[in-house]
Amino acid sequence: MTKIDHQLDIKIPGLDKQLIAGQWTDPCPAEYPVISPSTEQVIANTSAVTIEDAERAVLSARKAFDSGSWSNLSIEQRVIHCSKLCDAMESRLGDLNRAWALESGPTLSHAEIINNNVGVTIWRRMLDTAVELDWSEHRDDVLLLREPIGTVLSIMTFNGPIVLMAMKIIPAMLAGCTVIGKHAPESQLTSRLLSEAIEEADIPPGVLTLLPAGTEVTQHLVSHSGIDMVSLTGGTQIGIEVIKRTADRLARTTLELGGKSPAIILEDANIAETIDTLVPGSTAYMGQVCVSLSRILAPTERYAELIEALAEKYSTFILGDPLDAGVDQGPIATERGLLRTERAVETAKQQGARVVAGGGRPTELEQGWWYQPTLLDNVNNSMDIAQVEVFGPVTAVIPYSGVEEAIKLANDSDFGLAASIYGTDSDECMRVAKRLQSGSVAINTAGISFLQPFGGYKKSGWGRECGPEGILEFTQIKQVIGS
């Protein structure tokens, strides 16, 4: 039996407080335990975010925006402030990655890729992009002005508490908005380290507050008349609830929601080369990635060959302490995620699917929210496992006959976030890509570009993040005419 012992071995500021309006609040008696998903042990007790904290945050954000103290700064001045915040975040990346691994279970290697590489690259590109945008434009006899929306609520998830600072928070601030960043309650440690970075960067009071809040506080914020825009990353059902709660005041919303992303393996694909990115694309962070390739569509002629190659890879994963450099995968981040994964696999088996690899909790890891990366075959596109996002380490392989059926199956989904196509005929790959109902399509690779606008079709969301469009989402256009 493998024994994992997690201790909070990094200094976390304000465990019993929140940083609001530039000041740490008084200690709060209400506690929120930080539970290690690797051991199910409490590694820290933090203060719970209260409705009063949320009210204080909205009041300070509204004051900062309505006074013009942030929105009236030149873009160059806002870039200077945001650059200091980025510097402060980068100086803490070691602790941030470790804190994230402790509280949410990603391996340190995954954390370094997502944060040190992707996150830093995005927020540095945003700083450069902001000064290049046309914030005012003369068009015929009209002056068009890009102005900030107002006070923004950015709702972030446990699977990207740091990188989403680059995709949501920095762009909104650069646009001139004041921001309340609502971290997941599972992000207590990372949220406080990021708050310390805000304090170090001397961001003006009210411009940015981070609250690792639960459902009640989040619903209060979403419904608040002082919030002009909600930017959500989360599940589709949560997105629908946000729309309902903001409908009466017609608040602006952008939604990066769920996915059931397909990977189409064309008949001429090189299987050995395909596996190199297809497996990471379907298993990264235990499938807790919105663009995870959870549906693999394989031609009947090569179905057995692909299943064999995938099963071999899926069976070699080393599960264990995410702080250990020799580990491939850590635990599922939450107990509800583990239970959801177990239910999904059991339902799939009842509906006729077959477990090829994985399919249960590893026997060598008794404590923690562990589940083996799981590969299923004998799946058809009408099964729950092919239609419902698991957000866990489960991949279904579905056979098809002919490329037209592959396209039909890929598009037969409520979602349209990402997709991949593998094949050696580049013209055919591009033809298929153009017919997929997906906000992002990767050819002979997996993933997305984080430097260009990204978002979903259908129930995978509204609006775009990253690229120039990721900043402009937080603006509105005013036309000025006459002399």
Q: What are phi and psi of 482, to 5 degrees?
A: 85, 180
Q: With beta carbons less than 8 A apart as the criterion, state whether 130 and 176 touch.
A: no
* DSSP letter string, 206-229: TSEEEEE--HHHHHHHHT-TT--E
Measured distance CA(313)–CA(308) in Å, rounded: 9
Among 103, 186, 256, 473, the active-site one is 256
Tell me the angle at which helices 271-283 and 303-314 cross, rounded to the nearest 10 degrees: 50
Q: With beta carbons less than 8 A apart as the criterion, state whether 437 and 262 touch.
A: no
SS3 state at 309: helix
List % helix, strand, coil for the chain (3-state, nearest 5).
40, 20, 40
To the query of whether residue 256 is one of the catalytic residues in this protein, the response is yes
3-state secondary structure 364-415: CCCCCCCCCCEEEECCCCCCHHHHCCCCCCEEEEEEECCHHHHHHHHHCCCE
Among 82, 86, 177, 290, the active-site one is 290
To the query of whether residue 290 is one of the catalytic residues in this protein, the response is yes
Q: What are phi and psi of 445, to 5 degrees?
A: -160, -175
The CA angle 375-371-369, to the nearest 5 degrees, is 160
Catalytic residues: 256, 290
